Amino acid sequence: MKLDIIAQIVQILKDAPEVGAIEIRRGLFGAWSSVRVSKAGHGNAGPGASGLGHVIVSHSGGAPVPAAPSGGQLAPPPGPQAPGPGPQLLEIKSPMVGTFYQSPEPGAPPYVKVGTRVTVGQVVCIIEAMKIMNEIESEVAGVIREVAAQSAQPVEFGQALFRVDPHG
């Protein structure tokens, strides 16, 4: 990874205190395959992690820490969600700036739609950033009550993508 890109990632961490860690995974031939952004306090890799192919840059520690291997899954960051516009709805928010896609490819059915029951860690959409397709996982369990973003449209960091009824 080039030094200027690492410097930009570190600057993002300095400018956004709510961001705890940025994980960048590399695929074959050094190409980036995914980027994951975690909330503050939830950026560590957990037990059983090995440093194959990617690194986590974190607010809390100085040196990068290894993350899960390419085929492995990290536990989704737990934590309270800010309430949505309704009294009991929780929001799944965009962890980055990019283009929102509801389905894995054009013409395919969406990952989720209104009425779909989701679980923690389930992929709900893709956000394309810098030509990298990033799968976004739900941090809450419940029933999708609203899709707040339009497919193939830009989204901002922290923008609500879905509103979920945790009691539905």
pLDDT in tens, 92-137: 999 999 999 999 999 999 999 999 999 999 999 999 999 999 999 9
Parse the chain into domains and list their residue ranges: 3-66, 90-165
Tens of pLDDT along 52-78? 344 444 444 444 444 444 444 444 444
d(CA 165, CA 149): 17
Residue 93: what are its φ and ψ, rounded to 5°?
Answer: -105, 155
Q: What is the sign of the dihedral through the CA atoms of 48, 52, 54 and 59?
A: positive
For the chain, the average pLDDT equals: 73
Greater model confidence, 20 or 78:
20
Q: Which residue in this structure is represented by tokens 């080039």? A: 2
For residue 71 the two structure tokens come to 């085929």
d(CA 43, CA 20): 6
Q: How far is CA 103 from the centre of its chain?
A: 16
104, 111 contact by CB (below 8 A): yes
Identify the top-confidence range among 3-7, 14-18, 131-135: 131-135
Closest CA to 163 of 113, 127, 107: 113
68, 74 contact by CB (below 8 A): yes
Residue 89: what are its φ and ψ, rounded to 5°?
Answer: -85, 140
Query: pLDDT above 70 covers what percent of the chain?
Result: 56
At residue 168, the pLDDT reads 78
**166 pLDDT higher than 70:** yes
Greater model confidence, 5 or 120:
120
For residue 112, CA distances in Å to 64, 132, 162, 168 come to: 34, 21, 10, 15
**44 pLDDT higher than 90:** no
Q: In the chain, which residue ranges form alpha helices assigned H by DSSP? A: 3-15
Beta bridge partners of 55: 24, 66
Counting every residue written for the chain, the total comes to: 168
Fold of 90-165: OB fold (Dihydrolipoamide Acetyltransferase, E2P) (2.40.50)
